[in-house]
Chains A and B, each alone.
Chain A
Amino acid sequence: MLSKRIIPCLDVKDGRTVKGVNFVDLKDAGDPVELAWQYAQQGADELVFLDITATHERRGTTIEMVKSVARQLNIPFTIGGGITSIADAEALLNSGADKISINSAAVRNPQLIEDLAKAFGVQFVVLAVDTKLVEGRNMVHLNGGRLITELETEDWILRAESLGAGEILLTSMDHDGTKNGFDCLLLDKVARSINIPVIASGGAGKVEHFTEVFLQTGVDAALAASVFHFGEIPIPLLKEELKKHNIPVRL
């Protein structure tokens, strides 16, 4: 049986992981390679690196980081942030990334999804969508929720699937950072409407939230950052709990 995936997300800037990470036995919390390796040891099923490097000139550093991670990591990983072209994606693929995630570049140029899928296969293309409820409608947002678009979230996801997205990473900006749980209502609607995997993101605060999202929705994976980084939810414990609820996990 296919397992539900648990995915820690790491923010990366200039080849270094940022945001406080609080592993006891970590020598260098800013070293993405060591951090990634630790997560793999803990039983993470996959990792997502979000590159928040501001300038295009520094992308080379990111490429080097991806290579270092790929050399050491024995589980799959996705890299997102700043990918706007086939050439960007190809450089990351050749550096050992399993998937890339695109967000605003796809909103500005939906054709990019199709071009990437044709060039590298749908399995390589993750579409990240940041959504926020505005006057009762779920709308796609950019720039971390600051910029609203004209796209309705569910429509955009359907279109992305038909263009060749292989997976959807759906972050609810209303839930993100609240630690009050995932947006199960929207996630279930989306997971039912498409035939590609969905990663739930935004709102994880405790173990029960993961149980909820897997029991109440059809999502395939759940992503979180701070609850993992600060050791609030140890991954082995989380998976044991999910298993108790008969949710298929990799132990």
Chain B
Amino acid sequence: MIGIVNYGAGNIFSLTSALERLNIPFGMVNTEADLDKYTHIIIPGVGHAGTAMQKLEQTGLVGPIKALKKPVLGICVGMQLLTEHSEEGNANLMGIVPVQTRLFNKDQGIKIPHMGWNNISHKNNLLFEGVETDTQFYFVHSYFIEYNPTFDIATANYGMPFSAAVQKDNFYGVQFHPEKSGTAGERLLKNFSNLKL
């Protein structure tokens, strides 16, 4: 069963709706004790990374999340929280994946936010099982996770290559919104719920 970290950063109605459509059982994580109730953990998140980190710290869950050995999936800002630092609010984040979250550079002739469907090329990670490479996912973000070959499991391009998905040990993150990415996104959520470590 999936536990969704409930720390007040953005709305989770779309995520819980997607899980319901897929018949994936889920519950909410409000306290450290709740983390033990679930086999898989999702950290959602929309909005400002610095503010989201403050909210997560207020729940007292940062330490317990870092110590988890079960599969964890960060979505959008939830993914960015896994990184060391974000230029958004010059915020120190959880530092689980040693990479940086940076602002897109509009001097490259791109519009910010990066909003819409973009294709990814993935590296056959189990998270993307059954998803063809070059499949498009729905992105909405102004900050991105720098490409690092060690942790990158899917790459997208917007002005420059960046990580659409990362993995370090049991921690996974996706910058796009699987709950809004059509059947490919639903497949990814299903794959995550089936991950075994």
Contacts and interface: CB of A to CB of B under 8 A. Distances in A.
Contacts of A1: 118-119, 157
B190 interface: no
A75 B180 contact: yes
A123 B177 CA distance: 13
A220 B111 contact: yes
Contacts of A195: 106, 111-112
A71 B20 contact: yes
A5 B20 CA distance: 27
Interface string A54-90: 0000000000000100111011100000000000000
Given A74-B18, A120-B47, A98 B117 contact: no
Given A1-B157, A2-B158, A120-B47, A74 B180 contact: yes
B186 interface: yes
B102 interface: no
B180 A96 contact: no
Interface string B174-197: 000101111101100000000000
B13 A2 contact: no
Nearest to B113: A123
Contacts, number: 87
Contact of B47 (A40, A121, A166): A121
Nearest to B77: A121
Contacts of B47: 120-121
A74 B21 contact: yes
A172 to B, nearest CB: 21
Contacts of A2: 114, 116-118, 158
Nearest to A196: B111
Give the interface size class of chain B: 35 or more
A196 B183 CA distance: 28
A123 B140 contact: yes
Summarize B's interface: helix, strand, loop or mixed: mixed
B113 A196 contact: yes
B140 A221 contact: no
B11 interface: yes
A37 B40 CA distance: 29
Interface string A1-24: 111010000000000000000000
A72 B183 CA distance: 12
A197 B118 CA distance: 14
Summarize A's interface: helix, strand, loop or mixed: loop
B38 to A, nearest CB: 22
A233 to B, nearest CB: 19
A90 B106 CA distance: 29
A93 interface: yes
Contacts of A76: 138, 140, 177, 180
Contacts of A72: 17, 21
A171 B116 CA distance: 20
A216 interface: no
Contact of A121 (B18, B48, B138, B177): B48
A96 B17 contact: yes
A45 B186 CA distance: 15
Contacts of B11: 93-94, 96
Contacts of A38: none
A221 B116 contact: yes
Nearest to A124: B46
For the complex of A and B, 3 pairs with smallest distance between CB atoms: A96-B13, A3-B117, A250-B117
30 contacts: A2-B158, A3-B119, A5-B116, A40-B182, A45-B116, A70-B13, A70-B17, A71-B20, A74-B183, A74-B186, A75-B180, A75-B181, A75-B182, A76-B177, A93-B11, A94-B11, A96-B13, A96-B14, A98-B14, A121-B46, A123-B46, A123-B115, A123-B141, A123-B142, A195-B111, A196-B112, A196-B113, A197-B111, A197-B116, A220-B111
Given A71-B21, A96-B14, A196-B112, 13 more contacts: A3-B136, A5-B117, A72-B17, A75-B180, A94-B11, A96-B13, A98-B180, A122-B113, A123-B140, A166-B113, A195-B111, A220-B116, A250-B136
Interface of B: 11, 13-14, 17-18, 20-21, 46-48, 106, 111-119, 136, 138, 140-142, 157-158, 177, 179-183, 185-186
